[in-house]
Every structure is written in C-alpha cells, then in structure tokens.
Structure 1
C-alpha cells in the first residue's frame, strides 16, 4: 500500500496513540498492537482483516502502519469494510478518528515489554511510571465495633477497574508479605498506627496510605504481581487473614525471576557506584526531608494566618453591630458601616489564605512526601541487605571453614572413614548453600541497581514541584494583594474620620 500520510492529513489523536504504544519511538510490539485492537470493539473477523492488511511484520508495527490501522478501525466503526481501496479513494482533509476507549492496558503492556527488552535498564520516565496505575484511598464512613471504633478505607485502582474496602491491618498484612516476596525492592514504610486517634491523625494516615499504595502499585517489578492484584480486587472480608493464608508460602522474587541465574551479567563493571549511590540517596533523604519540614511549616503558618484572619473578621463584624448607647458624635455609625465592610474583605482574605495553604499541602507537601518515601525506602533497602544478606553470607562461609577444619583434624587424627565422609557430604551441601548465597547476592545487587534507577525517575518530580510552588506563591500573593486593594477605599474612609477628629482637636 502506497498511502501518503502527509502532515496535514494525520489527526493529533494518531500521534497521541503512537506515543502510547511506542517506547522511545521504536516499532510497536505485536502484543501491544493486539491489545490496542482489542480496545476497538470490532468483531474478530473485522480485526483479522485489519491485521492482515497492516498488522505486524517480524513481530512489530511501524508508525505508518499504526496510522493506517487507526484509519481502518475508524472506517470499520462507521460500517465500511476495511480495504486498501479506502485509502485510494479518500479525499478528505484529515483521516477519521476511531473510538478506542480506555488505553491504560495498552500503556501498561508497552511498559512491561520495554522492561523485558533490557533487564539492566529501567528505561522509564516518571510520566511512564504514573501511567502504571492511579490509586485512590478515601476514608469510609465510620463504623463502630463491639468495643472500639475502627476506620475503613475505600481503595480504587484505575488499572484493575476495582473498588474495595480495606482496614489498616489489611495494609499491614500486605506490607509484611511484600517484604517477604520482594526482599530486594523498595517497600516504603507504612504510616503509623495509633489506638486513640483524632480526625487530623486519620486524615494524615489516609494520605500516607494513599502515597504508600500508589508507590507499590506503580512499582515496575511489583505492579503485576498476584499478591498486589489480590489486595486491589478481592471483595471478601477478613482480608488480612486470607491474604496471609494464600500468599505466606509464596517464594520470593529470587526464586521466580528469569534474571536470577544470570543477574551478575546485568551489573555495571564498576560496582563502586553502588556505595556512591547509597551515600547520594542518604544525602537526598536529608535534603528532601529538610525541604519537606520547611514546606509543612509554611502550610501550617498559612493555615494559622487564615484562622487568625477569620477571628479578626468576626471581631470587626461584632464592632459593626455592637450598640454602645447614645453617642453625641455622628461618626460612629459611619465607622460601624466601615467595620462591616472590612469584615467582609477579611472574610474573603482568610478563605483565600486557607485555600492556598490547602492547595500547597496537596501539590507541594504531598509530592515531597512521596519522593521522600521513595528515598527512605531505598535507604531502608540498603540497610536490610547489609544486616541480612551480607551477614547470612558471612555465616555460611564461617560454617564452611569450620567443616573444613574439622575434616582436616579428623584426617590427621585418623578418624573413622564414615565420619570423614559425613563431613564431606556436609561440606558439599554447604558449598551449594554458598553458591546459592552468591547468586542471591548478585541478584540483590542487581535489584538495588534497578531500584536506584527508579529513584532517579522519581527525582524528575523536583522540577515540577518547584514550578508548582512558584506558581502557587505568585497566584497567592496576587489574589491576596487584590483583596487588600479592595479594602483600601474603606480603610481610607476610616482614616478620614480619624484625621477629621485630629484636625478638630488641633483647631480647638
């Protein structure tokens, strides 16, 4: 087919779909292409015709053939039979736009294949990561237990198209199982539990659970795992018990990964970068943590200022209505009208101040919290490996040395051959243990290498966080200044009253 796709004839939608399907402008994987066709809601016979006309060649689809596919799908959705002749007879300005529905499954499959292509390179931007899933966690209406109140959360997942109810202990069960299933991955800390809690604590914990589950659901190595899928979709009760019963014997990632046996091949030649990266992350934890504290303090000051302005507004309103008896001066009623006007201006002022502080909490503080959760998770991962795997490796080596020493001593002393043979059997078993430990060690370092790349992807958010902060501050100062400007005429009327009094006193 020699269809000419000139720039003017290609709808913007075509380019957007190509960006969704293609990784780094590379040809589209046939599985991704097939997933795209599945979203078109056409019969299998029609899809087969389109596949045969412009489908994959050697397992991939070019940009041009994708554009042709979209045009054929659009025509088929309007009742036309897909064929090359449709392109030959087309005379419109722009090719038709198909109805494709939700393309999230297509995005996720593209990301999955991009990860499989080069196991040593994450190859995902922060935007790619956000497309893996969108999670929402909201507090459910409070229920009372027999003795204590407990909080429940409504958890929704865009990727799973699910909505479930979970308790805090369900999150704890998932957290513990994830640490067992993915011991060499970033598993952020859960927000704390408290027996006696108030509304402020519950909201803070809700935000923490939302961040935590968002990070887990967008983790490239975890997001497709059955454990997480169960948590996001199961509609049963007593989830914390059933999820443990089902997944407590699940092997860890090392036992199931295709990359475990040859993880060493994916490691950088210069392994000193791991120590360097670890120190860099520790420094980032300190810096971002400090920024987060400052941002939180700024929001708290904004909310406190809003509260003070609200109180001040009420006081001016009270002055505008108070009856202080007969006054010879005729200026008090005029002043009272001014107090009422100022009260309204201050009311607008505290509303705006509170809105800006709340918006800064969401767009700056929460995103800094998310980044900090990732960084702390990476730091915790490195500490787990140092305390756990490295220590286990040293213990295994020490045991092997002990067995060798006992064998040598037994041979020297002329020990029973059966005893020596038993020692040799134990040594062989211990060698297998050490070999397994070395493979596991290589795999753990490989995972840390990938997790460091994940941290780097999340660091991309710093630029947008800073941009949001600047934009919010500019908007806040402008809107608040405009409100103060609106109050100037009223304030001048008060000043004119005071000035008249001063002039009167001066002339007397």
Structure 2
C-alpha cells in the first residue's frame, strides 16, 4: 500500500494509460464490471496502520495520478498519441475550470458521482457516458486530474460524432487536431457541492483556513531568542497573552490557576481551565504540488491566529521542531511524527499530511508549549532555512528557567504516583482498542467509497436501459406489414415504453443522488477518523511521556550525598590531625561540598518540577482533552449520521412519489 514508487518529475498522461486499463481493449468497450474489484489497499486504506511497527505490504499497482508510467503496447513516436498527451498536459482553460469547480476540496481527484453529474449535462446517452467513465477511471471510485481531462476530450469527441461511431482512445488520438470543446453546462447549485472534510485537532467545528490580518512580521534578527517563552502578542488572540507582559525567560502561565492548582479544594476543575476548546488555534497543513525533487516534498502551513500568512515547510523542519520541543519540554505531552519513506505513493503522502496536521495542532493548543518561541518561528518565519542557519537555538530543559512557587508545590498530590499508575496500567488496553477502532473505521470508509462509485454506475446502467427500451420494442420501431406498408413509421415511443423509460430515468437520478449522499457520509467518516486518531495520539503521547519520565527522572542525588558525607568525615579527620597545611586541604573539600550541595538542591528542585509537570499533564492536558475530544467527536458524528439518514429518507420518498404513475401495462 505504501511502498509503490512515486514519479520524480511532472508527469504526462499517455493514451496507453487508458488502453491498458484492466478489462478494456484499445478500440472496444468491454464489461463495465470487469475491473470493478478494487486491489488490496485501494482507496488508501489497508489492514496495516501506517504508523505501526508492522511492515506495510508492497503494492505493485501504480498509484493514482501516476498513470503516465504505463506505456505498454504504445509506440512512442505516434503523432496522434503525442497530441493526446499535449492536450491532457496542457488542456484548454475550460477543462481546468470545470475540474476546479468539481474538486472543491483540492485533493486532485473527483468522484464518479461528481463526474457523472457533470457529464449528464452533455446530453449524451447514458451508455456513452458509462463508456467514457469506464475508459478513464482507473481506481473505480474517482478520476485524477489528467483522467478527467481525457474524459472531457472523449465527451467532445462523442458530441462531434454520429451516434453509431465508436468512442475509443484510438479515435480520440486521431481526432485531436480537429477536436472541439465539450458542450457542458455545470450548475452552480449542483447537488454534488461538498465541503472538504474537517480534519485534525478539531473539537467543535471545522478549522478555519483564513489567517488573521494583524500584520505580524517575523523577526529576522540574528539575536532572536527562540527560547523566549513570552507570549507572541502580535497576531494572536487574547488567550495567548499573559497579563503584565514579560521578558525573555520569564515564567509564563503553565496552566495552573492562581493558587497553583488546576483544581479547587473540592476537586472541581478551576473556572480558568474550563472551556479551553472554545478558542482553539487551527493550523492547516497542505501538500504543495510543485515538487522540487524526490526528497523535497513541501507543505503549506498556515495558522488562523498567527497572521504571517502561509509558510512553506519540509518534513525535516517538523523533525527539527519536535527535536527542540522534546529537549525543552521532556516532561510534557508531545505527539510523535509520522515516519519518512523513500519513494512514497500518493496514499502515504496524504496519510502523512494528515498526521503532520494532527501533530502541529496538538502542539499549538498545549497550554504551555503554545507560547514557545521556536514554535512561533516555525509557524511565521518565511525564510526558515536561512533563519536556522544563522540562529543558535537553546535546548535547555524547561526546569532551568521556570521555578515553582509554594502554592504550586503544595498542589501536587501526595499520591501522584498512584494516580499515574492507574493510567499507566490501563494504557495498553486503551491503545489497542483505539487502534482497532481506527482500523475498522477506515475499512468502513473504504466500503462507503466503493458504495458511492457503485451507486453512480447503477445510475448509468439504469438510465442506459431506459434509453434502450424504445429501440428494442416492436411497437416503437419501424416495421412493415405483409404488403410492405410502413407501420408506426414516425419512430416515436409507445406510451408504455415512454412511461417506463421516464420511471427508469427517475430511478437513475435517485441513484446518483444516493452516490452524492454517500460522498457526504465519506466526508463525515473521514472527519470522525481524524478525531479518533487525535484522541489515540493523546494516549500515545502519554505512553511516550512515561518512557521519557522513567529515563529522565533518574539523577545522582544519592551519589552526591555520599560524596558530601565522605568529605565531611575527611574534613573532621584533617582537623583532628592538625597536620601542616590542613587548612588548604579543608578549603578544597569545603568548596567541593558547596558545589555538590548546590547540585543536590537543583536536582531536588527538578524532582519537584517533574512531579508538577506530570500532575499538570495528567490533570489538565490529558484529562480534559480526552474527555472533550471523545464527547464532541461522537456527538458531531451522531448528529451528522441522523442528518444523513433523513436526507436519504427524503431521496427515497421522492422516488416513491415519482414512481406512483409508472405504467405496468
């Protein structure tokens, strides 16, 4: 699924891509069901979680959008085929405009239902539309950009040909020089206008893609302190600002209330900690289609609360950011990054984009990390690579610059280890359940995608039958009697065929509506899967936090104390012996003791700080977020499902009313 190679340069779509499609011949039209069984992993989902340790299965098929690599059986020097490549790679403006109208989510692919809705405005017979879709669709559920352009070219060919002419890629290649523009009339209020699925760290609604207009100008100074935790006041909402401002290393709010605890004495969460999800920051992460090379896949990153506008980032930039954050905030919840893979296919790139989006939205909404200086630079600095080269970033631990007050120390419960142990013991079973939930949801999504495509094909088949009724009816066709006199010579349909044809047309229209409603369900399921993955990432982050805590909480306080005790005994011995020069030796031992005692004090403070961080991450970050994400995610999913069922019921009720007058004899 994830190991198929990705082409290195800009591609072109050869006519061979369609001539060699499964179940199709170069000049004819074969059984439309011959190639409808999806290959394993089709649609971008398989049995293996892409971020698990299990190796992903290899896939020999070509990813969507890479159909230009299939050139079997085609002579490279054919002038007609070169013309087809030229048309598809440099299409007329109307081709691009039609694609952009349908591809509302900007994924580079359009569903069969959307394509069918558009092609039905060509007034071509349903059987011809079905042929065109089967000649151009390679994955049986959608069309890539170049496949869509080829479909439009076939529409133009069919519209300029007689009804008896065969529609094929070979005829299209030969007709390129004189090919007219397709006559299509897309409706601005088409039923298939679908919104892009809201994904990522989203609790209450879809993330905004527009940035604020506060005019934030990233610092270009080489003296910028990326370890500065002062909240960014330019271009940020009020909830990012701390009262009184502050200087570079001033301790900012770490999510504690005024008395140092996230909870009141009665165990209820402080009011200042409530409703955090009402003002979340949303960061969009999108693939930049213009690739500069094999390893230089870039992403457009844009926050709705940092008004620098979109910035371009590479995967290695995300790695740099996580490395900085892990070193600075080792005892904080931090999500993992998706893996890197040589030669990723389109499905892997899209899965990684979503994972990167979940990662950055998790970070920017952490109550402590959101104000980190390096994070702000990552989201706002246009010339990020040059900034990294000229700026040395401090990676000192958070505990070096932040100190707890007495109230915060007193807020740490005495049974913290017991509370953490409860979560630690139950993490494996929770993570296993979430992994299964994500996997089953993705399988359900895959079935819905196939169901939408099948509904679209059902619509075409039913409409084709309706168009063929009068051609196969003895009462509708021209015939002669025994004397050679023409009977029913006007070629019109009989009343029975006309009524049945109208009923089948309504049935076909209903199935395309079902396909469109199924697409809406695909959008809902996609959003819900991202919500599930966000919650899963939260638990995975705590699992990783436990690992870092077990490793980093160890110190040498006991060893230093033994050294101090040993020196104290030696000092007493030197004093009692009273040998010449004992004062100098004692001064050296006292200085060493002072240094070790200072280290002991610092390490003991760090122990307390680590406990405070663990309590904060458990009680404030994890506890509230897992509850809010789960509650909002399932509430929204349930409401969307209810709305979808009502819409489907309305579609079938409408068909029922239309079929009341369908004749039977």
- Coarse TM-score class (shorter-chain normalised): 0.5 to 0.7
Is 1:350 aligned to 2:350, yes or no? Answer: no
Q: 2:439, 2:238 → 1: CA distance?
A: 39
- CA 1:110 to 1:264, structure 2 compared with 1: closer, same or farther past 3 Å? closer
Equivalent residue number for residue 635 of structure 2: 467
Taking the TM superposition and a 5 Å limit, the aligned residue runs for 1:218-233 are 218-233=365-380
Cα deviation, residue 314, structure 1 = 2.2
- CA 1:434 to 1:316, structure 2 compared with 1: closer, same or farther past 3 Å? farther
Cα deviation, residue 172, structure 1 = 1.1
- CA 1:117 to 1:311, structure 2 compared with 1: closer, same or farther past 3 Å? same
What TM-score comes out, normalization by structure 2 length? 0.51
Residue by residue over 1:73-103, the C-alpha shift from the partner in whole angstroms, topping out at 9 and shown as x without a partner, is xxxxxxxxxxxxxxxxxxxxxxxxxxxxx99
Equivalent residue number for residue 250 of structure 1: 395
- CA 1:258 to 1:441, structure 2 compared with 1: closer, same or farther past 3 Å? closer
Is the CA contact 1:169–1:240 (under 8 Å) kept in the aligned structure 2?
no
Residue by residue over 1:133-159, the C-alpha shift from the partner in whole angstroms, topping out at 9 and shown as x without a partner, is 33222333x223255562322322414
Is the CA contact 2:235–2:306 (under 8 Å) kept in the aligned structure 1?
no
Is 1:437 aligned to 2:603, yes or no? Answer: yes
Cα deviation, residue 273, structure 1 = 2.0
Q: Does the residue aligned with 1:165 lie in a helix, a strand or coil?
A: strand
Out of 338, 341, 357, the position equivalent to 1:194 is 341
Equivalent residue number for residue 83 of structure 1: none
Equivalent residue number for residue 359 of structure 1: 524
- CA 1:260 to 1:289, structure 2 compared with 1: closer, same or farther past 3 Å? farther
What TM-score comes out, normalization by structure 1 length? 0.65
Equivalent residue number for residue 10 of structure 1: none
Is the CA contact 2:331–2:545 (under 8 Å) kept in the aligned structure 1?
yes
Out of 505, 512, 533, the position equivalent to 1:369 is 533
Cα deviation, residue 325, structure 1 = 5.4
- CA 1:128 to 1:242, structure 2 compared with 1: closer, same or farther past 3 Å? farther
Bigger drift between 439-448 and 197-206 goes to 197-206
Which residues of structure 2 form unaligned runs of 5+? 1-213, 215-233, 244-251, 264-269, 477-495
Cα deviation, residue 179, structure 1 = 0.3
Equivalent residue number for residue 356 of structure 2: 209
Q: 2:586, 2:346 → 1: CA distance?
A: 68
Equivalent residue number for residue 477 of structure 1: 645
Out of 243, 261, 273, the position equivalent to 1:120 is 261
Is the CA contact 1:160–1:232 (under 8 Å) kept in the aligned structure 2?
no
Equivalent residue number for residue 265 of structure 1: 410
Q: 2:611, 2:429 → 1: CA distance?
A: 20
Q: 1:343, 1:132 → 2: CA distance?
A: 44
Is the CA contact 1:400–1:427 (under 8 Å) kept in the aligned structure 2?
no
Equivalent residue number for residue 35 of structure 1: none
Which residues of structure 1 form unaligned runs of 5+? 1-38, 40-101, 501-508
Is the CA contact 1:170–1:240 (under 8 Å) kept in the aligned structure 2?
no
Equivalent residue number for residue 8 of structure 1: none
Cα deviation, residue 324, structure 1 = 9.0
Q: 2:366, 2:460 → 1: CA distance?
A: 50
- CA 1:240 to 1:193, structure 2 compared with 1: closer, same or farther past 3 Å? farther
Taking the TM superposition and a 5 Å limit, the aligned residue runs for 1:134-149 are 134-140=282-288, 142-146=289-293
- CA 1:408 to 1:348, structure 2 compared with 1: closer, same or farther past 3 Å? same
Equivalent residue number for residue 38 of structure 2: none
Is the CA contact 2:296–2:314 (under 8 Å) kept in the aligned structure 1?
no
Equivalent residue number for residue 380 of structure 1: 544
Q: Does the residue aligned with 2:286 lie in a helix, a strand or coil?
A: strand
Q: Does the residue aligned with 2:355 lie in a helix, a strand or coil?
A: helix
Equivalent residue number for residue 71 of structure 1: none
Is 1:164 aligned to 2:328, yes or no? Answer: no
- CA 1:158 to 1:318, structure 2 compared with 1: closer, same or farther past 3 Å? same
- CA 1:337 to 1:485, structure 2 compared with 1: closer, same or farther past 3 Å? same
Q: 1:157, 1:220 → 2: CA distance?
A: 17
Q: 2:387, 2:274 → 1: CA distance?
A: 31
Bigger drift between 439-448 and 156-165 goes to 156-165
Is the CA contact 1:129–1:219 (under 8 Å) kept in the aligned structure 2?
no
Cα deviation, residue 492, structure 1 = 6.1
Equivalent residue number for residue 655 of structure 2: 487
Bigger drift between 379-388 and 264-273 goes to 264-273
Cα deviation, residue 105, structure 1 = 3.3
Is 1:155 aligned to 2:302, yes or no? Answer: yes
Q: 2:656, 2:280 → 1: CA distance?
A: 51
Cα deviation, residue 290, structure 1 = 4.2
Equivalent residue number for residue 310 of structure 1: 456
- CA 1:454 to 1:160, structure 2 compared with 1: closer, same or farther past 3 Å? farther
Q: Does the residue aligned with 1:136 lie in a helix, a strand or coil?
A: strand
Is the CA contact 1:133–1:159 (under 8 Å) kept in the aligned structure 2?
no
Q: 1:309, 1:434 → 2: CA distance?
A: 71
The higher relative CO (CA closer than 8 Å, separation ≥ 6) is in 2
Cα deviation, residue 129, structure 1 = 4.7
Taking the TM superposition and a 5 Å limit, the aligned residue runs for 1:12-411 are 105-109=237-241, 115=256, 117-121=258-262, 123=270, 124-125=272-273, 127-131=275-279, 133-140=281-288, 142-146=289-293, 150-160=297-307, 162-238=309-385, 241-242=388-389, 245-247=391-393, 249-259=394-404, 264-271=409-416, 272-279=418-425, 284-322=430-468, 326-328=472-474, 334-362=499-527, 364-390=528-554, 393=555, 397=558
What is the aligned length?
388
What's the RMSD between the two structures over aligned residues? 4.0
Equivalent residue number for residue 455 of structure 1: 622
Q: 2:649, 2:429 → 1: CA distance?
A: 39
Cα deviation, residue 485, structure 1 = 2.0
Q: 1:286, 1:354 → 2: CA distance?
A: 29
Q: 1:360, 1:239 → 2: CA distance?
A: 41
- CA 1:430 to 1:315, structure 2 compared with 1: closer, same or farther past 3 Å? farther
